[in-house]
Structure 1
């Protein structure tokens, strides 16, 4: 019984919500910086730099939460899978950022919380009622609006295939966060973040070994592929500070989201990730002069609306549980 209790998932929704809000603010800055730097540096160089810096700060948190002993795990395979999923999620999303407006890419990626709600049913055994399932369906209608399958051509380099990259990233991200909830009962947030940063480092080093000289980039005209395969160069001027900022954001995001998803139900935490959408619109407008087209805005509204319904239903469920518990105590 003691062992089962020790490995049971935590349930502190207020704390989890605070962490996810901090994490989403850091993600919005991270995405803006990567898009800003995408015309001059390769994606794998940014990922290596931010992960190396982020890992240093993460290891400090590891020391504060119990020392290097907490990095020991009985489930290395699941942690590796979790790390690879977030690597795929980031690579897909960031590759799209080179040519897709920041708000558009972010909105498409925000199908992830809806996917988390769905995946929490078979993987975590969480109960999701018809209202929340209906909200998920509304969100997916928003995704379809943004993909615009009725248009033969889109004003995005690479077309519809590039627009699908954030959705693919969202699926990988959703699977990763469901695994975070599954592993969070026995693993500290700093350890979860350290595993992810290490995976990013290894994958980006692999890219450097294979394509770090840029020899594969010359065969492509597409900006996304050039962003993925461009040669490494030393950051110029103030860009070095942007790279450092990426590392700080990586540390904050890795710890905050790991802590959020290990301390509350996935369906409770996921809807709060939508606060990142206004951030994306803001940064897109301020930094790149981008404003979503009307059909994109309609898709955003549907996706956000679906997420809000999920949140409201979850809050009602929590209130009913609290009332029933008080009644039992009496």
Structure 2
């Protein structure tokens, strides 16, 4: 459906934006940890399908009565669907990676995405890319080499899957920047949930097998949908209240939450060299976020900020 819909206005409430991004990153880390717990017992397509179906049903039950047609109105439907498909397949790849790798290391490699978004925003979005962006790219790449170094103990297929997620996450975020000008947050969230639910739900009759879930696992399955929906909502909303230069560095709290939860739940503690790599990746993202923007009008900065989200 291609009907004009204007996005919600931006307001300057930086503290509110920071609270929202901290909540979003905690929910993302919870989602990753829960995902890893469930895929030790069940196959990845089934867990992914239940996550997206739960996400979609929540939006239909809670959001649709409040927003009505605004939840399905779009101006550039094709790009909205392409963005949603990038998120859905990226989620599948990161789940395959989590089957083979610890949460913290997987999350750290995923965070190459913001650096790539900055680099590609020049040739694709015609934004200026300065020296700071290239420095950030080099620092981030160095960090990933430390994390995924030969002999570091990480599964090669796991690394390949998470790098595939990075590619899709980069496409997802570039599309988010383009669509932020015309599309509403709720519409983009709904189509992301809908495409994932359809793409993996159609295979559910062939993937729905295994032992009946325990009461705890039922709660975890429900939590997947809730945390995915609420996390992406808080993430997207945070950029409406605070500038990206303030919010983007705080997204690296995801690494902290992932490390804490991975240690508490699985007993995974990153090796010192891998930990140094995580710090380098985080530094790369912070450099990207605070790169010089002098001489630009507020409207230009708002257009560049968009949202930088994970595909997972």
User: Normalising by the residue count of structure 1, what TM-score does the alignment of the two structures yield?
Assistant: 0.78
Does the aligned pair in 2 maintain the 1:30–1:246 contact within 8 Å?
yes
Partner Cα distance (1:95, 1:119) in 2 = 26
RMSD in angstroms over aligned alpha carbons?
A: 3.0
Gaps of 5+ in 1: 214-230, 323-330
Gaps of 5+ in 2: 299-312
Instruction: Indicate the residue corresponding to 1:61 in structure 2.
Output: 63
Cα offset, 1:313, TM superposition: 3.0
Cα offset, 1:49, TM superposition: 2.0
Partner Cα distance (2:12, 2:118) in 1 = 18
Cα offset, 1:56, TM superposition: 2.9
Cα offset, 1:44, TM superposition: 2.1
Instruction: Indicate the residue corresponding to 2:264 in structure 1.
Output: 286
Instruction: Indicate the residue corresponding to 2:77 in structure 1.
Output: 76
Partner Cα distance (2:255, 2:294) in 1 = 25
- Note if 1:255 corresponds to 2:233: yes
- Deviation string for 1:68-97 (max 9, x for gaps)? 244122322111110111112111111111
Q: Please, which moves more after superposition, 233-242 or 82-91?
A: 233-242
Match among 163, 170, 176 for residue 166 of structure 2? 170
Instruction: Indicate the residue corresponding to 2:180 in structure 1.
Output: 184
- Note if 1:212 corresponds to 2:207: yes
Instruction: Indicate the residue corresponding to 1:45 in structure 2.
Output: 46
Instruction: Indicate the residue corresponding to 1:216 in structure 2.
Output: none
How many residue pairs get aligned? The number is: 293
- The 5 Å alignment of 1:1-330 reads 10=10, 14=14, 17-59=18-60, 60-64=62-66, 66-148=67-149, 151=150, 153=151, 155-156=153-154, 159-209=155-205, 211-212=206-207, 231=209, 233-260=211-238, 269-313=247-291, 317=293
Whose radius of gyration is greater, 1 or 2?
A: 1
Partner Cα distance (1:132, 1:17) in 2 = 23
User: Normalising by the residue count of structure 2, what TM-score does the alignment of the two structures yield?
Assistant: 0.82
Distance 1:42 1:185, change over 3 A: same
Q: Secondary structure at the match of 1:124?
A: coil
Q: Please, which moves more after superposition, 117-126 or 11-20?
A: 11-20
- Deviation string for 1:207-255 (max 9, x for gaps)? 325x426xxxxxxxxxxxxxxxxx3554223211111111210211232
Q: Please, which moves more after superposition, 132-141 or 52-61?
A: 52-61
- Deviation string for 1:12-56 (max 9, x for gaps)? 583655443322111100001111112111222222222222223
Distance 1:114 1:205, change over 3 A: same
Q: Secondary structure at the match of 1:67?
A: helix
Q: Secondary structure at the match of 2:42?
A: coil
Distance 1:45 1:271, change over 3 A: same
